[in-house]
């Protein structure tokens, strides 16, 4: 694998790829908050790994041990511009297919709203249109509102990531199928993302989460013209399925797949179902219709 960084207006973004040019629209994989591009590299469908040109990108502020902070006044427009910059560097003017998990999906949605010519198709996995989240992540966003809360988050994040079993327990709590983390996909995913998670700067992670709380693309969903596949967990504690259904109703070309018993990490909890949907929807020959 090849890893390198490219510059954007929100700071450098890390890229992971095999560096092999293949025909068809490039596929761009975007991970969730505190996770890593290596998670998608580990679990993307094998047919897409070997037959498609692909890039896994890091979210803004997700560079292990980097000293860069995010700029102030983050907006959906600035997020879209940063992703468009990265795609221009990687793919030129070629429209891409974006697969985003959670916050990575929101980043892709920013692109669909503000820079639509960059996108051919979009996949949202456990993603959202409103950045004020539910459950534990909502509590994290509230911590950012005062100095004591920010200090508590720094201490708590360092404690959680200091030992792998603590970080694993947190991911299990986000799942509808806790046993999935003992299965092959869960073990591979965890081993792929944990080394980065323990090296991120918690103050930068919190800055991004706090900025998200003030972003909302709900009223702009009707302007999205590319086909969108939405994959949601019926038991997601972070993104309620009611919110995902509301998004699907507003998007002109959306297909919604709700996975029974699955929580916030479908690629771990239902890897075969998710990979089959990705392969069908992003197929070059006969893409799944919406």
Query: Would you write out the chain's pLDDT as a tens digit for each of its 290 residues?
Result: 999 999 999 999 999 999 999 999 999 999 999 999 999 999 999 999 999 999 999 999 999 877 778 988 899 999 999 999 999 999 999 999 999 999 999 999 999 999 999 999 999 999 999 998 777 778 888 888 888 999 999 999 999 999 999 999 999 999 999 999 999 999 999 999 999 999 999 999 999 999 999 999 999 999 999 999 999 999 999 999 999 999 999 999 999 999 999 999 999 999 999 999 999 999 977 777 77
**What local confidence, expressed as pLDDT, does residue 39 receive?**
98
Cβ atoms of residues 252 and 224 within 8 Å: yes
Residue 220 burial class via C-beta count within 10 angstroms: exposed 0-12, middle 13-18, buried 19 and up: middle
Percent helix, strand, coil in the chain (nearest 5)?
50, 15, 35
Give, for 20, the enclosing helix (H) or strand (E).
Answer: none
The residue ranges of every structural domain in the chain are 2-281
Structure token digits, residue 161: 């990531």
**What local confidence, expressed as pLDDT, does residue 65 receive?**
72
Strand partners, 30: 57, 100
Other CB atoms closer than 10 Å to residue 238's CB: what's the count? 21
Cβ atoms of residues 101 and 35 within 8 Å: yes
The second-level CATH assignment, the architecture, of 2-281 is: 3-Layer(aba) Sandwich (3.40)
Torsion, CA 32, CA 89, CA 27, CA 110, rounded to 10 = 50
pTM listed for this prediction? 0.96
């Amino acid at each position: 694998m090849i890893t390198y960084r490219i510059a954007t207006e929100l700071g450098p973004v890390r890229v992971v790829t095999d560096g092999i040019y293949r025909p068809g629209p490039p596929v761009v994989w975007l991970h969730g908050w505190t996770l890593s591009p290596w998670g998608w590299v580990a679990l993307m469908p094998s047919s897409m790994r070997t037959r498609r040109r692909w890039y896994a990108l890091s979210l803004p502020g997700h560079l292990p041990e980097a000293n860069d902070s995010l700029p102030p006044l983050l907006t959906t427009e600035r997020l879209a511009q940063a992703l468009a910059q990265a795609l221009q560097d990687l793919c030129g003017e070629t429209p891409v297919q974006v697969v985003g998990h959670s916050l990575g999906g929101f980043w892709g949605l920013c692109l669909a709203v503000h820079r639509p010519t960059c996108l051919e198709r979009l996949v949202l996995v456990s993603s959202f249109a409103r950045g004020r989240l539910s459950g534990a992540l909502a509590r994290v966003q509230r911590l950012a509102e005062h100095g004591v809360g920010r200090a508590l988050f720094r201490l708590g994040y360092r404690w959680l990531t200091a030992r792998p079993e603590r970080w694993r327990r947190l991911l299990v709590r986000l799942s509808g199928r806790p046993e999935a983390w003992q299965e092959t996909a869960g073990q591979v995913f965890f081993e792929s993302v944990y080394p980065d998670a323990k090296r991120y700067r918690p103050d930068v992670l919190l800055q991004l989460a706090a900025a998200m709380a003030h972003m909302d693309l709900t009223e702009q969903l009707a302007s999205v013209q590319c086909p969108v596949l939405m994959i949601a967990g019926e038991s997601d504690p972070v993104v309620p399925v009611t919110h995902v259904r509301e998004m699907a109703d507003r998007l002109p070309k959306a297909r919604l797949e709700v996975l029974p018993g699955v929580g916030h990490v479908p690629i771990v909890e239902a890897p075969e179902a998710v990979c089959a949907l990705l392969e069908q929807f992003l197929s070059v020959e006969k893409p799944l219709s919406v």
